[in-house]
Amino acid sequence: MKTETYFCQMKREVKSTHDGSKTLYVPELDEHYHSIHGARQESEHVFIQWGLKQSSSVSSLSILEVGFGTGLNALLTVLSQPNDQHIQYVGIEPFPVDEDLLAEYSVMFSPEEQVLFNQLHQAAWNKSVLIRSHFQLEKVNVKLENYSAIEQFDLIYFDAFGPRAQAELWVLPVFEKMYRLTRKGGRLVTYCAKGQVKRDLKSAGFTVTSVPGPPGKREMTIATKF
């Protein structure tokens, strides 16, 4: 398991992806924050199409994101949010991206999107902040294993680094915790479709479905709590 100091000191670089959007690259892990085949396309497909839009008829939605990272998933969620839907969004991130790197990364957005992007990142950590009239954000600076919550969530964006880079986040005890944090009828969505991950999600109690993945991936995974 990587130490906290190690991760804090990791170098991160802005890289372009095939759809023209950008991602961050961590040389020490040889890992990208989002797909090189299209960072924005991946987030829109996995977390918006198969996550948020499947709950578009719900008036109030609580979302937990594991891996807040660049804030791309949160940004796309606000942009895609139905006008009459209230969203309570909690993003876990133990190693926030520094401001200079975020400024370099954010050039991929339109001027209007940059305003919202800056709002998300300027919001105080460990505090619930109103970003828009129906979008409440709480960024939690904590490692997943140390995160605890009384409330349960309707939707979990599981967007941690992949099993090759952070195997400790893709194991049965973590998915058992995700199951406890998921409200009945809720779902967890992730880009990962590895067989062991799906088996562990099933062992945790989820009903697991594979659906077509974003560009560059044959499948992705949806785990539902019935």
Domain boundaries, the chain: 39-224
Residue 12 CA: distances (Å) to CA of 57, 88, 141, 163: 38, 29, 18, 19
Dump pLDDT digits (tens) for 216-225.
999 999 999 9
Distance from C-alpha of 12 to C-alpha of 31, rounded to nearest angstrom? 10
**Residue pair 221/158 in contact by the 8 Å Cβ criterion:** no
Which has the closest alpha carbon to 77: 177, 163, 178, 189? 189
Query: What CATH number does the domain located at 39-224 have?
Result: 3.40.50.150
**Does pLDDT of 135 surpass 90?**
yes
Four-residue CA torsion sign, 104, 65, 7, 220: negative
Residue 186: what are its φ and ψ, rounded to 5°? -85, 175
Average pLDDT for 199-217: 97
pLDDT over 50 (residue 2) = no
